[in-house]
Amino acid sequence: MDCLFCKIANGEIPSNKVYEDEKILAFRDIAPQADVHVLVIPKEHVASSANDINAENCEIVGYIFAKIPEIASLAGVDSYRVINNCGDKAGQTVKHIHFHILSGDNLSEKLV
Ligand code: 5GP
Ligand code: ZN
């Protein structure tokens, strides 16, 4: 599969890593939309989007959220917004499920 985030997960494409373990990788977004903009991905391509999450593969989502406080702390923040874009109309451009951690003084007060 020709997937950008699979290539980042396996090191084929370099990334600015914030956190890594055997299951997940967190790295800086290449085009940050906030002072802090980190992406968190499962290393395995378990789902292309949140639409593919089900009872069998949902454990990784909980695992990611259990690690987000540590990842945010490593990025130097304890107040942040977590966003998942699901589908083209929601702005999803990379079809490997991922969560944005956004933080900083320039966050919009509105969600959209
Ligand atoms: P989406 O729009 O799918 O929710 O989020 C994809 C994100 O991946 C975007 O914020 C985009 O800037 C980021 N991105 C795209 N290509 C690369 C890349 O090669 N490296 C990194 N670090 N981020 C990327
Ligand atoms: Zn992938």
Give per-residue pLDDT as tens, 43-75: 999 999 999 999 999 999 999 999 999 999 999
Specify the pLDDT at position 1.
81
Specify the pLDDT at position 72.
98
Q: For this structure, is 100 an active site residue?
A: no
User: Count of alpha carbons within 13 Å of 43, Cβ hemisphere only?
Assistant: 12
Q: How far is the CA of 72 from the centre of ligand 2 (A)?
A: 23
pTM of the model: 0.98
Q: Record the tokens describing residue 60, joined without a space.
A: 């990784």
Using DSSP, how many helices (H) and how many strands (E) does the chain show? 2, 5
Q: How far is the CA of 94 from the centre of ligand 1 (A)?
A: 7
Task: Please check the confidence at residue 21 and state whether its pLDDT lies above 90.
Answer: yes
Q: What is the mean pLDDT of residues 15-21?
A: 98
Task: Please check the confidence at residue 106 and state whether its pLDDT lies above 90.
Answer: no
- Measured distance CA(90)–CA(87) in Å, rounded: 5
